[in-house]
Structure 1
């Protein structure tokens, strides 16, 4: 079986950095769902990508990059639009902001009729990103994929991954995210996304509110250098991270989620994966592992190239 099948965007990430006062760009394959799969594969998992790319050199490059890290690209569809480009602007402290060349980008043009039931029948986990929800027909395609994943009783994971540049109205992003959250087993939110979804300023309060509203969902909050949060037995628990000097946080959240999904699916049958959803001991250990993966990724530039190997993580994990 495939450990993780991801549905969403795969694109070209251009990192924009300043060198001697002059901006320079470095391009690589990216897109949050693709990065998550790459993280799983680099740790030893087996993955498939479902996405739209253009019939252009960038689309060809993306597919080669997916294959190079072991991702099955049989679900990557060539559509009648150019491959989406993302420009990641890196600040001196490693934090980033985004702009996009996506009018309409190929990632938005995959359609519901492209979705094949067989893509989800042999997956332990089906993972979704939020960018597909911002435009049709990709939104309908994502909901069709979600329907198929639920039909096959697969564990569904969701990264809220809010990008303001892609939404005309933040309320629309919230509405779409809440719709998917209601059908998800595991959801990851950043501090900013927790505030967007709940209006609450304190991440722990926001996470607890979401857990009360969606009692069947496991919510995780990422705090950057401060680690992560999870709701366990009705309380919000903080899992600290290791200390690093960040140079580029582009891949940190995806490294975190990929490492988490690797732990969730490692040496497990589908029934085992679902049982682990309720195991707080598992989540405590898995979040320490995921925090370490995210921290390591933040010390490297780029997206897929920044993702750590298993030996990287085990070497840096706290005792």
Structure 2
């Protein structure tokens, strides 16, 4: 049975990714490294690396890039039996432009196999035993049928699972769409992850409290505040803030997905709130130190040391090209 026995089902598009293998403007780069990326499969791959049984449900083209995406996600230990192979539509792709500020990406995904997904994609999902379905706002922007799919996810009876929603604001994808649907979708989820910078652009919210006003329903709301830290707000419980690790950033793409996976894995293990936020920060840091969307996890002893560090040691810890260390006066 497809994706039977998994704990987390991640649903959304993944693509071939081309990373410059040499410095310079993209129009002058002649050597590229082909990898694989996509918010939901990034989360699934990271969860699998953390020992969480994860499945990725999507669609790819019947082309070399589609085979590469399936191979990479499967090799990470993720169940890909719920991925459809479209015989007529291509696999999407994007390139990273290393010379541009913030290492932005340029998409080539219009008309992709995944953009044709609709509510019938749920026919490929077995939720027996699943504890979480993870989606993001990216999918809602791809097409009307993809938006209908996310609404169908929100309509599913939640007898055993919760729905987590990562805003994942991509302005280029919403140039011709109504981003107002993101509030509707997010407020129907159980767990929401959103960057404060995203919330300010999309909803005009400038504090975690203001984000909560926009999204009053989700039982768990995580507001990521970049290099400052993250705030966890839950109904009826005190607000929890945990500062981020100090990281010498190589590239930010994929760090939000890594944070989501770390936080969700810890939440599934019923870790205390501050520890769950730290788990998110640690996973984000591993990706911030690479040019790839997914990074290998730190050795378990190093993770345990960080999770158990007292507040002063945590605040003094930094990760640079020299490694992870604690600053001393």
Question: Counterpart in 2 of 1:302?
Answer: 292
Q: 1:230: how far off?
A: 1.8
Q: Work out whether 1:100 is the aligned partner of 2:102.
A: no
Aligned partners of 1:70, 1:243: CA distance in 2, in Å? 30
Q: Does the CA contact (< 8 Å) of 1:255 and 1:308 recur in 2?
A: no
Question: Counterpart in 2 of 1:289?
Answer: 279
| 1:77-110 per-position Cα deviation (integer Å, ceiling 9, x unaligned) | 11231101122334687x3322211121122112
Aligned with 2:246 (options 243, 247, 267): 243
Alignment of 1:169-188 (within 5 A): 169=176, 172-173=178-179, 175-188=180-193
Once superposed, what is the RMSD of the aligned Cα atoms? 2.4
Aligned with 2:42 (options 31, 35, 40): 35
Question: Counterpart in 2 of 1:273?
Answer: none
Q: Work out whether 1:191 is the aligned partner of 2:196.
A: yes
Aligned partners of 1:75, 1:57: CA distance in 2, in Å? 19
Question: What SS does structure 2 have at the residue aligned with 1:108?
Answer: helix
Question: Counterpart in 1 of 2:12?
Answer: 8
Q: Could you say if the C-alpha distance between residues 18 and 222 of structure 1 is closer, same or farther in structure 2, counting changes exceeding 3 Å?
A: farther
Q: Work out whether 1:78 is the aligned partner of 2:80.
A: no
Q: Does the CA contact (< 8 Å) of 1:251 and 1:307 recur in 2?
A: no
Q: Could you say if the C-alpha distance between residues 165 and 62 of structure 1 is closer, same or farther in structure 2, counting changes exceeding 3 Å?
A: same
Aligned partners of 1:103, 1:229: CA distance in 2, in Å? 35
Flag the structure with larger Rg. 2
Question: What SS does structure 1 have at the residue aligned with 2:90?
Answer: coil
Q: 1:186: how far off?
A: 0.7
Aligned with 1:139 (options 147, 151, 154): 147
Q: Does the CA contact (< 8 Å) of 2:60 and 2:84 recur in 1?
A: yes
Question: What SS does structure 1 have at the residue aligned with 2:79?
Answer: strand
Aligned partners of 2:105, 2:134: CA distance in 1, in Å? 22
Question: Counterpart in 2 of 1:227?
Answer: 229
Q: Does the CA contact (< 8 Å) of 2:163 and 2:189 recur in 1?
A: yes
Aligned partners of 1:117, 1:104: CA distance in 2, in Å? 21
Aligned with 1:259 (options 253, 259, 262): 262
Structure (1/2) with the larger helix percentage: 1
Aligned with 1:52 (options 51, 54, 59): 59
Q: Could you say if the C-alpha distance between residues 46 and 209 of structure 1 is closer, same or farther in structure 2, counting changes exceeding 3 Å?
A: same
Count, aligned residues: 298
Q: Work out whether 1:87 is the aligned partner of 2:92.
A: no
Aligned with 2:208 (options 183, 201, 204): 204
Segments of structure 1 that go 5 or more residues without pairing to the other structure are 267-275
Q: Work out whether 1:125 is the aligned partner of 2:132.
A: yes
Aligned partners of 1:62, 1:238: CA distance in 2, in Å? 36
Segments of structure 2 that go 5 or more residues without pairing to the other structure are 310-329
Q: 1:206: how far off?
A: 2.8
Question: What SS does structure 2 have at the residue aligned with 1:19?
Answer: coil
* Structure possessing the higher relative contact order (Cα contacts under 8 Å, 6 or more residues apart): 1
Q: Could you say if the C-alpha distance between residues 198 and 102 of structure 1 is closer, same or farther in structure 2, counting changes exceeding 3 Å?
A: same
TM-score, with length taken from structure 2: 0.82
Alignment of 1:14-25 (within 5 A): 14-16=18-20, 19=23, 22-23=28-29, 24-25=31-32
Structure (1/2) with the larger strand percentage: 1
Q: 1:243: how far off?
A: 1.3
Question: What SS does structure 1 have at the residue aligned with 2:51?
Answer: coil
